């Protein structure tokens, strides 16, 4: 049977059904099913969020100043981005302005997350979709050294002896018979295209990156006390600045600022000498594999982030771009209003939730979530042993958010497409550099590889922007302003009886926003629409498919029983399922009736 979706995809469910559950190397739990035709080309794709935690109902009735800590636990991978979104949301509701230093420190922390998260994603969650560590055993260390020196002459770890040592280490590891994380991988699948030397170089950097990433997040430990899950504060940041007098040794002082500077410099070096060259090297072997574009050439969305000056969330003041592009028309970038009830709405006809009227979508300020788990009539298996999903019915713990009715892709590629369309100078230069280096047209961006490349470019951008905000922080302190928190409205007795607010960020995985209603100093309603809710969205009433599903369409699989291509494309979004599936309602009353066995 063939179905034409309004957003331009032809679905055919007649071919063989392939199930991947669990999808691994992601945050959280996810299932994917596809139908392949006789040529092993994917003709239908179904993505299912397979976990739900219900954090917003837990937030109900609590102190809004505590909300950052709860929402931060939505995700430990993009740790802190929910907390930042939450404090902005509460500050918006209560009209709290933060000091300039707090803005700089928050930006450094958020950018630090981007750098860390993108780097770890590329090497530790995504690389094994492109890189074959077993093939690395066949590499010639001398040729690998030459390759390394060609792609990145600045990186010091490049001698033949160095690569021989790493190769020996790998060899012993493989020969031990205990393959650990590489066990049952798809290492003889023809979808892997790198020559052994490139595999050895990239595998070596997998290990180097694993060691180096321990350093990056120390910036957040300095300002937030620990990482993952550093500490934040409504009204500013908790760390005080004291560069002069008594007690300076226990505050943000010269030594701390120097440590931040040193880590930023090391991060820039690692990203530019290792990550970007690896990305380009890998891409050069896969540039003929331009599957996975999905919605990216049609509908993309970003809210923008990284306010240059404190308290100004207008698009002009945001260093990370804001806008929406519809139907691939790059000539027109629409503004996005998170307060407008007609713009962002969530639908549930294919989600395991119940609305009174499921034909309608709800704006998050008026969101309702009532879980309603069950399988459709055509599902195979049973309620507690799903063999095949029935996507004509409800099939996911993820809701379907829409912007003015459109399914949207969010994330680094969406941000870079919006920035490129707006003529953002930094973004355009970066994109043109990559297109020129790889000798590919701009349409190559709309692909799995484009998504992966945009993430790398953004990592580089973020590393430099950390440096910008550290300079700004120091300049402000030098000018005599050391303040980090505004406590005028800290005391709940100063708050209005009722208030509502919205806060947003660009999380590593894409546009993120929280909506709050406060009543009598407590949280009355709290709603989050997160990046993977957008990307992992199931279908809507009109039958529009979401970004994950769209991206898998028409991809040729080498061996359907080995989901290398499915993993490659899904990973290019960096899915975060704990984020996407926690969403909970305004009234959690229904939940308390659920039987406890």
Partner 1 sequence: MTEIETFYDVLRRQGISRRSFLKFCSLTAASLGLAPELAPQMAYALETKPRTPVLWLHGLECTCCSEAFIRSAHPLASDVILSMISLDYDDTIMAAAGHQAEAIVDEIVEKYKGNYILACEGNPPLNEDGMYCIIGGKPYLDQLKKAASNCKAIISWGSCASWGCVQAARPNPTQAVPIHKVIRDKPIIKVPGCPPIPEVMTAVITYIATFEKLPELDRQGRPKMFYSQRIHDKCYRRPHFDAGQFVEAWDDDSARKGYCLYKMGCKGPTTYNACSTTRWNGGVSFPIQSGHGCIGCSEDGFWDNGGFYNRLTNIHQFGIEANADDIGKTAAGVVGAAVAAHAAVSALKRARDKGGNA
Segment 149 to 178, residues that bind partner 1, using CB under 8 A: 165, 168-169, 172-173, 175-178
Please tell me whether residue 52 binds partner 1 under the rule CB under 8 A: yes
Name the DSSP letter for residue 272: I
Selected from 42, 90, 96, 128, the binder of partner 1 by CB under 8 A is 128
Q: Where in 257-286 is the site for partner 1 (CB under 8 A)?
A: 259
Under rule CB under 8 A, residue 76 binds partner 1: yes
How far lies 434's CA from each of 78, 214, 254, 444, in Å? 26, 28, 38, 10
Per CB under 8 A, 240 contacts partner 1: yes
Residues 290-329 that bind partner 1 (CB under 8 A): none
Residues 537-566: x where in contact with partner 1 by CB under 8 A, - otherwise, as a string = -------------------------xx---
Per CB under 8 A, the segment of 7-15, 215-223, 526-534, 547-555 that binds partner 1 is 215-223
**Distance separating alpha carbons of residues 401 and 278, to the nearest angstrom:** 35
Q: How far is the CB of 569 from partner 1 (least distance, A)?
A: 13
Distance CA 140, CA 164 (A): 8
Q: How far apart are CA 24 and CA 568, in angstroms?
A: 11
Please report how close the Cβ of residue 317 comes to partner 1 at its closest, in angstroms: 24
How far is residue 34's CA from residue 185's CA, in Å, rounded to a whole number? 20
Phi, psi of 174, deg, nearest 5: -65, -40
Cα–Cα distance, 318 to 179 (Å, whole number): 46
Q: Does position 222 bind partner 1 by CB under 8 A?
A: yes
Examine residue 250 and tell whether it contacts partner 1 (CB under 8 A): yes
- Residue 302, phi then psi, degrees to nearest 5: -145, 145
Angle made by CA atoms 292, 577, 453, in degrees to the nearest 5 = 35
- Tell me how far apart the alpha carbons of residues 358 and 372 are, in angstroms, rounded to a whole number: 13
Rounded CA-CA distance 415/336 in Å is 13
- Does the footprint of partner 1 cover residue 213 (CB under 8 A)? yes
Q: Angle 448-478/425-438 helices, nearest 10 degrees?
A: 140
| SS3 at position 262 | helix
Look up residue 472 and give its DSSP letter: H
Please, which residue, 323 or 575, has the CB nearer to partner 1? 575
Per-residue binder mask for partner 1 (CB under 8 A), 10-49, x = binder: ---------xxxxxxxxxxx-x------------------
Measured between alpha carbons, how far is 538 from 47 in angstroms, rounded to an integer?
7
* Beta-bridge partner residues of 402: 345
Cβ–Cβ contacts within 10 Å for residue 467, how many? 17
Closest CA to 108 of 463, 475, 512, 505: 463
Measure CA 492 to chain center: 34
Q: CB within 8 A of 326, min separation 6: which ones?
A: 298, 299, 332, 334, 404, 406
If the CB atoms of residues 245 and 288 are measured against partner 1, the closer one turns out to be 245
Told to check if 591 binds partner 1 by CB under 8 A, we report: yes
* Binder among 122, 130, 163, 186 for partner 1 (CB under 8 A): 186
Q: Any contact of residue 50 with partner 1 (CB under 8 A)?
A: yes
HSE (side-chain half, CA atoms, 13 Å) at 36 = 19
Which residue of 15, 141, 235, 323 would you call a contact of partner 1, by CB under 8 A? 235
3 state SS of 278: helix
Nearer to partner 1, 206 or 403 (CB): 206
Q: Which is nearer to partner 1, 333 or 576 (CB)?
A: 576
Closest distance of CB 360 from partner 1, Å: 24
Q: Cβ of residue 374: shortest distance to partner 1, in angstroms?
A: 10
Q: How would you classify residue 79: left for phi > 0, otherwise alpha for psi between -120 and 50, otherwise beta? A: beta
Of 38 and 384, which has the nearer Cβ to partner 1?
Answer: 384
Q: Is 62 in the site for partner 1 (CB under 8 A)?
A: yes
For residues 340-379, which are near partner 1 according to CB under 8 A? 371, 373
Rounded to the nearest whole angstrom, what is the least distance from the CB of residue 436 to partner 1 in the complex? 33
Residue 219 vs residues 130, 309, 482: alpha-carbon distances, Å: 30, 21, 19
SS3 sequence of 117-160: HHHHHHHHHHHHHCCCCCHHHHCCHHHHHHHHHHHCCCCCCCCH
Q: Which is nearer to partner 1, 407 or 574 (CB)?
A: 574
Least distance in Å: CB of 62 to partner 1?
A: 7
In whole angstroms, the minimum distance from the beta carbon of 546 to partner 1 comes to 19
Binding piece for partner 1, criterion CB under 8 A, among 56-64, 413-421, 434-442, 541-549:
56-64
| Nearest residue (CB) to partner 1, 252 versus 440 | 252
* 3 state SS for 529-568: ECHHHHHCCCCCCCCCCCHHHHHHCCCECCCCCCCHHHHH
Q: Looking at beta carbons only, is 147 or 222 nearer to partner 1?
A: 222
Residues 393-412 that bind partner 1 (CB under 8 A): 397
Which one of residues 154, 254, 387, 442 is an interface residue with partner 1 (CB under 8 A)? Answer: 387
**CA–CA dist 88, 98 (Å, integer):** 10
Whichever of 428 and 521 has its CB closer to partner 1, that residue is 521
CB of 330 to partner 1, least distance (A): 35
Residue 120 interacts with partner 1 (CB under 8 A): yes or no? yes
The residue within the footprint of partner 1, chosen from 228, 328, 405, 543 (CB under 8 A), is 228
Query: Between 210 and 442, whose beta carbon lies closer to partner 1?
Result: 210
Residues 462-501 that bind partner 1 (CB under 8 A): 482-485, 487, 490, 492-493
SS3 308: coil
Shortest distance, position 452 Cβ to partner 1, whole Å: 17
């Amino acid at each position: 049977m063939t179905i034409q979706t309004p957003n331009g995809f032809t679905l055919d469910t007649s071919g063989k059904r392939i199930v991947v559950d669990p999808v691994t190397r992601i945050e959280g739990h996810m299932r994917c099913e596809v139908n392949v035709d006789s040529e092993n080309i994917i003709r239908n794709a179904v993505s299912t969020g397979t976990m739900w935690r219900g954090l917003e109902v837990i937030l109900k009735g609590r102190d809004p100043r505590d909300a950052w800590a709860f929402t931060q636990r939505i995700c430990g991978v993009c740790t802190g981005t929910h907390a930042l979104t939450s404090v902005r949301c509460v500050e918006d509701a209560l009209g709290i302005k933060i000091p300039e230093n707090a803005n700089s420190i928050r930006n450094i922390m958020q950018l630090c997350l981007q750098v860390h998260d993108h780097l770890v994603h590329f090497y530790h969650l995504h690389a094994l979709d492109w890189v074959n560590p077993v093939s690395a055993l066949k590499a010639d260390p001398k040729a690998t050294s030459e390759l390394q020196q060609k792609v990145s002459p600045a990186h010091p770890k490049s001698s033949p002896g160095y690569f021989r040592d790493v190769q020996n280490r790998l060899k012993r590891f493989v020969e031990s018979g205990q393959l650990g994380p590489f066990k049952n991988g798809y290492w003889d699948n023809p979808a892997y295209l790198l020559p052994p030397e490139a595999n050895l170089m990239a595998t070596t950097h997998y290990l180097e990156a694993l060691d180096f990433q321990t350093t990056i997040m120390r910036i957040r430990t300095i300002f937030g006390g620990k990482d993952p899950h550093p500490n934040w504060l409504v009204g500013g940041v908790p760390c005080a600045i004291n560069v002069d007098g008594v007690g300076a040794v226990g505050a943000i002082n010269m030594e701390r600022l120097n440590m931040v500077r040193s880590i930023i410099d090391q991060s820039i070096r690692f990203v530019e000498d290792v990550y970007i060259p690896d990305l380009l090297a890998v891409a050069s072997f896969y540039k003929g594999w331009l599957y996975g574009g999905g919605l990216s050439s049609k509908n993309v969305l970003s809210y923008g982030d990284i306010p240059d000056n404190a308290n100004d969330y207008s698009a002009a003041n945001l260093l990370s771009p804001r806008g929406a592009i519809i139907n691939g028309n790059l000539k027109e970038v629409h503004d996005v209003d998170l307060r407008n009830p007609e713009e962002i709405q969530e639908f549930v006809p294919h989600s395991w939730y119940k609305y009174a009227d499921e034909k309608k979508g709800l704006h998050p300020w008026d969101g309702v979530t009532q879980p309603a788990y069950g399988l459709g009539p055509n599902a195979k298996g049973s309620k507690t042993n799903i063999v095949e999903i029935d996507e004509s019915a409800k099939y996911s713990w993820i809701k379907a958010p829409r912007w003015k009715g459109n399914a949207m892709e969010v994330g680094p590629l969406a941000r870079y497409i919006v920035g490129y369309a707006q003529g953002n100078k930094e973004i355009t230069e970066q994109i043109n550099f990559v297109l020129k280096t790889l000798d590919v047209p701009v349409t190559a961006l709309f692909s799995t590889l484009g998504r992966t490349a945009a993430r790398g470019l953004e990592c580089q951008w973020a590393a430099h922007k950390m440096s910008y905000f550290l300079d700004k922080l120091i300049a402000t302190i030098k000018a005599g302003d050391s303040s980090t928190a505004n406590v005028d409205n800290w005391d709940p007795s100063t708050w209005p009886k009722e208030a509502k607010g919205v806060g947003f960020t660009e999380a590593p995985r894409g546009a993120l926003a929280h909506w709050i209603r406060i009543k009598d100093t407590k949280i009355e309603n709290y709603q989050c629409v997160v990046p993977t809710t957008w990307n992992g969205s199931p279908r809507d009433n009109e039958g529009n498919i979401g970004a994950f599903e769209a991206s898998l369409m028409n991809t040729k699989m080498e061996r359907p029983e080995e989901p290398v291509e499915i993993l490659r494309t899904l990973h290019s979004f960096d899915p975060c399922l704990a984020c996407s599936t926690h969403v909970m309602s305004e009234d959690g009353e229904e939940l308390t009736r659920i039987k406890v066995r």
